[in-house]
Chain A
Amino acid sequence: MDSRGLAVETEHLTKFYGRTLGLSDLSFAVGSGEVRGLLGQNGSGKSTLLKSLLGLIHPTSGLVRVLGLDVQKFPMEIRRSVGYVPESPRLYEFLTATEYLDFIADVRGLSYAEKKERIGRLIQALDLEGKQGDTISGYSQGMKQKVALMGSILHRPRVLLLDEPLNGLDPKSARVVKELVHSLAHEGVTTVFSTHILEIAEAICDRLTILQNGRVLAEGTAQELREKAGLPGSGLEDVFLKLTGTKGVEDIVEALMR
């Protein structure tokens, strides 16, 4: 663990996809055991940032440290300690849920007894009982999301990177995930969580980071962001729209309804 108590840290992180800017000189830090929400419009750099934290993409410049280790220098060590769910998880559809989790468990070095206990418990908790013997190809989007989530926490990660983890989940499962993130935080697991659902972000995140055009636009607790936007007592949606400079929503709706 980093001496400053930081689980995740980026310094002047820049990423270009060809000529397209993904992240621009982004510096960002998340403390150990913190639940950090990433907010931003489509294309603001949330997914790119999460991928950079795991070393799934190579930064054009800058530094990424997770648990005190440079991601580019120690990719295997980072991957052992981190769990990740991408925005639209493409799983191995030709495997059953049990086979998929069994594969993840074997690669992560879990013992037979350990994997049996944990896979059984996760399948029960996320309501996949009776379906776990079918290939994933026939699952709904929400069921696939559940399997991806299970795979990300199977090995008890120290850092959890979740990109829109509630996509397609039914209300009960969404609630389970929210509670799970809380419980993991109590155990010291750091979670970086990207979402478009602002109520959820406010409910489960200790702090929020708003990204725009690959940069950090604002950072703080929900209350701090309200004050920064000059909208005390307002909903987080209004705060987000004001900070990101989104204007003329009514005009757009009117044009669509014409």
Chain B
Amino acid sequence: MRARVLLKFAKILMISRLRGTRRSFVTNSITARPVIIALIGIGLFVFGLGLGWVTISVLTSSSTDATAVAQIVFTIFGGIPIFLIGFFFSMGLLWELNASTESETTDAINWLPITPSEYVLASTLSTSYTYSPLVAVVLGYALPIGFLTGNGDAFVLLVGISLVATLIGSVGVEILRSMLARASSAFSRIGGNAMVAMRILGVVLVLVFTQALFSGFLVVRIISTLVGDIAATVAVPVFWPTLSITSLLGSDLLSSAIYSLLSLGFFFVLTYIALFLRARFWITAPPSLHFSSSGSLSGISKLRWLGLSSLSVALLRRELRSATRRKEVVRLMAIPLILPVMVLFPVVFSPAPSSTTTPPVAVNPILLAGPLLFGVGLGALFLGITSIGQEGGRLWNIGSLPVGARMIAKSKILFTSIIAMIGLVLGLALAVLVFHLVILDAFVFSGLGLTVVLAESSLGIAVGSRYADFSEGPRPRFVTIAGSIIGSILGIIIMGLMSVAFVVTLLLTFRLGLSLPSILTPLPLFATAFLGLIFSRISYVISIRPIETILGEIPN
């Protein structure tokens, strides 16, 4: 093990991670002088300090009793280690999902004399240091809370345990990375569409888990479980850092010491496993996916029965294959599938009802429609906004073929809409099962959702073609930052305008007590759908010129 190489390599990995994510004044400054991350950490520590001081001031000045304050301290201190493990693991995981396969195979680590252990430790250090400002802010927040509530010893332990938790999360990613490489090469050898479907499912599950973690509901649920039944959680190693803190807060010094040592031991075991797996399973270039020995040609598609031309079908088929087979695109396609599911998080992760005999509460369909359609619309927008830029260096393929801008725009809108509609149907199916949404309402929502999806997909293509980013780094982003911001704002405005008819109807009904004649009840529905179609048409027309410009000046 060469310490100098290790530190140098950790720095290179961190620079690559930051520059591959976003090139901006901030990342350029940070990558030029990595010490800036530490300075940002110090700044955030001070900010956290202020926030923590405000929190404890509010708690102590109000009439909150001592037991409740202790409970709050217990939740905050106990939540920090598990949150840090989850955060560092998730950030590494998302990086892994977003990384371009092509740049991975040409990565310097594949041909430089760097040992597996040097790689694992350098990568762990790099992940930990890159996101270390988060540790600084949570510790800053915890400091006044700990000392002003007489839990200074718990804070001191929290500093050490947070470091261990950070390293556990970071090294966990290394294990996952090697296992994914192994699984990926095994699946590639098996090949076929079933493997592609399994990979999509895997990515969706990983993203759902990550989003669940960051939604906060899951962490709160975990802490509730810890408070309610510690015996059930002592066997789960990721809880040990939390248990070391909560034991100390409960004045159980022996348990706290044991859990602290166990946490440290857990980190060492994970490191050993990561080193072993890296040495055993890492492959420089994953084998190509195998689909058939002879290769099969497509016949006449059933989609042509819907009036699509063979050219449209060919473009749509290529979009679908791109979306399902390119790792960095699969996660984009997963967005419209995940967002509707996320809407249901508060219910899924809320504490279990005390009585199983309580009937499920019926939800007002309009209140459900809002977030669900918003989620799907946003998903369609993001998928559309990235769909032009993801062509990258392959743009010449389309540029040299007799395909016009209109056809490209139509195929992208069609593809984005199909994927987003799958997300909507999935969300509605869950709503029917969980919220007992009436099936007729679900059908109405899917019709309305189609117009939302069309409007947002078309807007995404219009913005994505004007602000396309064709650069291909370790983590391609496909759209410029300005494009992302403008697209998001316009997307929200459009959805806001589309919901005006509903909002007016709700105000008339609930505020003024007026109700529309029954013959006019579907009016807001039709008005919204009509607006959606108009926005879709406008966005489609707007997208043609920039696509023509791109085709006439293929970027180098």
Contacts and interface: CB of A to CB of B under 8 A. Distances in A.
A172 to B, nearest CB: 21
Contact of B318 (A75, A93, A95, A123): A95
A235 to B, nearest CB: 33
Nearest to A104: B401
A95 B311 CA distance: 17
A84 B396 CA distance: 9
Contacts of B298: 102, 106
B262 interface: no
Contacts of B293: 130, 133
Interface string B368-411: 00000000000000000000000011101101111110000000
A106 B287 contact: no
Interface in A88-138: 89-99, 102-104, 106-109, 112, 115-116, 119, 123, 130, 132-138
A133 B101 contact: no
Interface string B274-287: 00000000000111
B321 A99 contact: yes
A91 B295 CA distance: 17
A228 interface: no
Given A84-B400, A90-B392, A75 B552 contact: yes
Contact of A137 (B288, B297, B556): B288
B401 A108 contact: yes
A90 B64 CA distance: 65
Contact of A135 (B285, B289, B400): B289
Given A94-B326, A134-B289, A138-B287, A107 B294 contact: no
B404 A76 contact: yes
Interface in A62-81: 72, 75-76, 79-80
B291 interface: yes
Contacts, number: 123
Contacts of B403: 79, 107
A96 B295 contact: yes
B332 to A, nearest CB: 14
Chain A contact residues (Cβ within 8 angstroms of B): what range? 35 or more
Contact of A98 (B297, B325, B326, B553): B297
Given A134-B288, A137-B102, A137-B288, A97 B295 contact: yes
B553 A57 contact: yes
A116 B402 CA distance: 20
A92 B403 CA distance: 16
Contacts of B35: none
A186 interface: no
A53 to B, nearest CB: 11
A56 B554 contact: yes
A103 B311 CA distance: 9
B426 interface: no
A90 B553 contact: no
A106 B311 contact: yes
A135 B295 CA distance: 10
Contact of B310 (A58, A89, A109, A138): A109
Nearest to B553: A58
Contacts of B286: 138
A99 B288 CA distance: 14
B394 A90 contact: yes
Interface in A222-236: none
A105 to B, nearest CB: 8
A136 to B, nearest CB: 7
B63 to A, nearest CB: 62
Contact of A107 (B288, B296, B315, B554): B315
Contacts of A84: 396, 400
Given A92-B322, A92-B394, A94-B322, A54 B297 contact: no
B290 interface: yes
A135 B552 CA distance: 29
B292 interface: yes
Given A56-B554, A90-B393, A108-B402, A135 B291 contact: yes
B288 A138 contact: yes
Interface in A22-71: 51, 54-58
Interface residues of B, number: 45
B325 A135 contact: yes
Interface in B226-267: none
B22 interface: no
Nearest to B398: A107
B314 interface: yes
A21 B327 CA distance: 38
A129 to B, nearest CB: 9
A55 B295 contact: no
B401 A99 contact: no
A112 B300 contact: yes
Interface in A143-161: none
A96 B291 contact: yes
A214 B119 CA distance: 46
A177 B237 CA distance: 62
A93 B296 CA distance: 17
A133 to B, nearest CB: 4
Contacts of B294: 98, 132-133
A115 B402 contact: no
Nearest to B294: A133
A138 B401 CA distance: 24
Contacts of B552: 55-58, 72, 75
Given A98-B296, A99-B321, A133-B293, A79 B310 contact: no
Given A94-B322, A132-B294, A133-B295, A106 B288 contact: no
Contact of A103 (B295, B299, B317): B317
A84 to B, nearest CB: 4
B402 A133 contact: no
A220 interface: no
Nearest to B399: A56
B402 A90 contact: no
B326 A102 contact: no
Nearest to A17: B556
B214 to A, nearest CB: 29
A9 to B, nearest CB: 19
Nearest to A90: B393
B157 interface: no
18 contacts: A51-B554, A84-B400, A90-B397, A91-B394, A91-B397, A92-B322, A94-B322, A96-B291, A96-B295, A98-B294, A98-B296, A99-B295, A106-B298, A109-B311, A133-B290, A133-B293, A133-B296, A137-B102
Nearest 4 CB-CB pairings of A with B: A138-B288, A98-B295, A106-B314, A94-B325
Given A55-B552, A112-B299, A135-B325, 4 more contacts: A58-B553, A79-B402, A90-B394, A103-B318
Interface of A: 17, 51, 54-58, 72, 75-76, 79-80, 82, 84, 86, 89-99, 102-104, 106-109, 112, 115-116, 119, 123, 130, 132-139
